Every structure is written in C-alpha cells, then in structure tokens.
Amino acid sequence: MTARILGIETSCDETAAAVVEDRSRILSSVVASQVDVHRRYGGVVPELASRHHVEAIGPVIAEALGRSGAGVEAIDAVAVTAGPGLVGSLLVGLAAAKAIAWRRRVPLLAVNHLEGHIRSPFLDRPEIPFPAVALVVSGGHTSLYLCPEEGAYRLLARTRDDAAGEAFDKVAKLLGLGYPGGPIIDRLSEGADESAVPFPKAVMKDRSLDFSFSGLKTAVRRLAQAEGIARGSAVGGEASPRVRDVVASFQRAVVDALVDGTLRACRRERVRTVLVAGGVACNRRLRRALSEAGAEHGLSVFAPSPEHTTDNAAMIATAGFLHLERGLHAGPGLLADPNWRL
C-alpha cells in the first residue's frame, strides 16, 4: 500500500515521532530522550516523564513532519502507541494523535508497543520470512512470541519477575555505575573476564520457557556485599577490574538465558526465523551470541539497526501499516491501556 503514516510513541521516557512511507521507508525519525531527567533517580519517574512528554510532543512532531519533506497535509494515517506503558505518558501521545487524525480526517491506528518492537527488524529487512520466533527484550519486557504469519502473535514465554533490561539497571545501580545500566555494562564488559563468576541461571520447575532474573540479581548483590564493592566500584571515575569481571559475568548469564530460551522455542515450534527487538537488542554480547547460535543451528536471525532497538516512532508507524491495510481503525474514544497484552 502506497501511503505515509505519522507514528507517535510516548509509552515511557522517549518522546518520538516519525514518518514512514510504504511500510519501511523512513522519511524522518525524531526521538527526544529523557535519560538526563531520570538519571539522578536511577530509573524512570512516571510523573516527570508525563510532564516532559507534554513539553516535547509538539516540537518533536513538528520536527518529524519537517524532516520528512512532506508536511502534515501529506499524512494518510496516524499510528500511536496505545499501550502497554505508563498511563500518563501514553495519554500525551494519544491526545496528539487524535487531534492530528481528526484535523486531517485520516485513520487513527492503535498500535501495541510490543508489536512495534517486533516489527522493527522489518525497517531494515522488509522481506523477513515467516513463521518466526520473536524475542522482545527491554527494560520493561522480556518475552518470546510465535509469529506464525504477518500480524499474528502468540505468547510463548515471559519473565516471571524482572525484565532483562530492568536487571541491568538494578545491577548497575547496586554497583554505583550509573543509569541506564544496559549501555554501561555493555561497555565495561568488553575485554573483561566473563567467566570470572559462575552466576546461576534460573531453570523453571514446570519446564516452561519463562525467564527469571531475580535470583541472578540477588547473586550479584550478595557477591558485591561480600567483597565490599556495592556502590563503591568506581576508582577515579573508572570501574575496577574486579567490577568489570563481575558485570561481564552477569551479562553473560543474562545473554545465555535469553539465547537458550530462544533456541528452545525455535526447536519446540519448528521455526527457523528469529526476530530480536527491544532496547537490550542493542547489546553487543547478545547480538553476537544470537548470530553465532543462528549459524550453528541453521537459523536466520534478524535484529533492527541499533537506532531502532530503543523506543522510537518508526517502529510504531511500520506496525501501523498492518492495521491500515486491514481496516483496523480506532475511533476518537480510544483509551490508553497500560496493561495491553499482545
């Protein structure tokens, strides 16, 4: 379908807008991050996130439309994240999307944030084959989905406690390394000894594919307290060699769990295509491990480019095309659903 969709994403702490043409051609993508706002708290503060979305949403949309070279009059539909996420943040994006769709008299498309992540690899590779297993791994979500065909999703597994990205943030905070934890641990782990600490990997007693990272996080805390490195790991602004080995070992344990679960899902469902998406999909150790596992087991692994792993509106717009093509339009009564399941 030849069309241009304006995507709007405000589910957490990024205010984003993008214009995408013909499913995957990105005309513009603008993201205003709030990392500096929330860094002092070591995590996202919902009320602050909502307030900053209100300030940023207008300028971000205007910049996305301007960069696209098209303008609002060339928009054929508006796709917006309606959930899951922080309800106050979601409402800001919904209000803007409804106003633009009403003013332009174009379809309003309600997109699940997780569907947006699953569609993000298609921005770079539009012809990815189905069926596929999708690993969505971020600060708020760690799930496996079976995608038997385009636009169809069945939950296979999820985390029973912390999401992987959340575990990265908590471990980094425990060791006084800063926020967000994922990029910091990724950087510190390069060149460190990831076999230094044999951290445990959770195994579900019911043999399900579900993940669990709370025990791993507890193991890091106990080791840090025993060795006196909790919140005291930086020496002259740099992490000590021991701390780098600890976080590298922690990272390896998380990655091993994610890769193992993904491979088990592929075997069980007899699928040979893997999609990996979400903020943690930017992690270099995870990308290498999945690529190597794919080569070893004959799987085709597809990940979005790094700039499309974190929350962005291009992924919401490209997911919106599926809704537009199927006539799945939302009305002016569309509500935010912070717990919307895919």
Q: Output the six-digit token pair for 77.
A: 């539909």
pLDDT of residue 39: 87
Classify 298 as helix, strand or coil: coil
Q: How far apart are CA 239 and CA 235, in angstroms?
A: 6
Spatial CA neighbour of 94 closest among 11, 162, 19: 11
Which domains, and CATH codes, for the chain? 4-119+309-325 (3.30.420.40), 129-303 (3.30.420.40)
236 has a pLDDT exceeding 70: no
What pLDDT does residue 218 have?
93
pLDDT score, position 231: 67
13-26 pLDDT tens trace? 999 999 999 999 99
pLDDT band per the 50, 70, 90 thresholds, residue 203: confident
Give the residue among 87, 97, 7 at the shortest CA–CA distance from 50: 87
Residue 185 has pLDDT above 60, yes or no: yes
The string of pLDDT tens digits covering residues 90-135 is 999 999 999 999 999 999 999 999 999 999 999 999 999 999 999 9
Q: What percent of the chain has pLDDT over 90?
A: 85
Whether residue 232 is predicted with pLDDT greater than 60 in this model: the reply is no
Task: Output the pLDDT for position 291.
Answer: 96
Please provide the average confidence, as pLDDT, over all residues in the chain.
Answer: 93
Q: Please, which residues have CB within 8 angstroms of residue 238's CB and are 6 or more apart in sequence?
A: none
CB within 8 Å of 326: residues ≥ 6 apart: 151
- DSSP E strands in the chain: the ranges are 4-9, 14-21, 25-33, 77-83, 108-112, 132-137, 142-147, 154-158, 234-235, 238-239, 273-277, 300-302
Record the tokens describing residue 74, joined without a space.
């060339």
Whether pLDDT at 235 is above 70: no
Question: Using one digit for the tens of pLDDT, what is the confidence trace for 24-68?
Answer: 999 999 999 988 889 888 888 999 999 999 999 999 999 999 999
- The model's pLDDT over 278-299, given as tens digits with 9 standing for 90+, comes to 999 999 999 999 999 999 999 9
Single-letter amino acid, residue 68: S
User: Quick count: other Cβ atoms within 10 Å of Cβ 231?
Assistant: 12
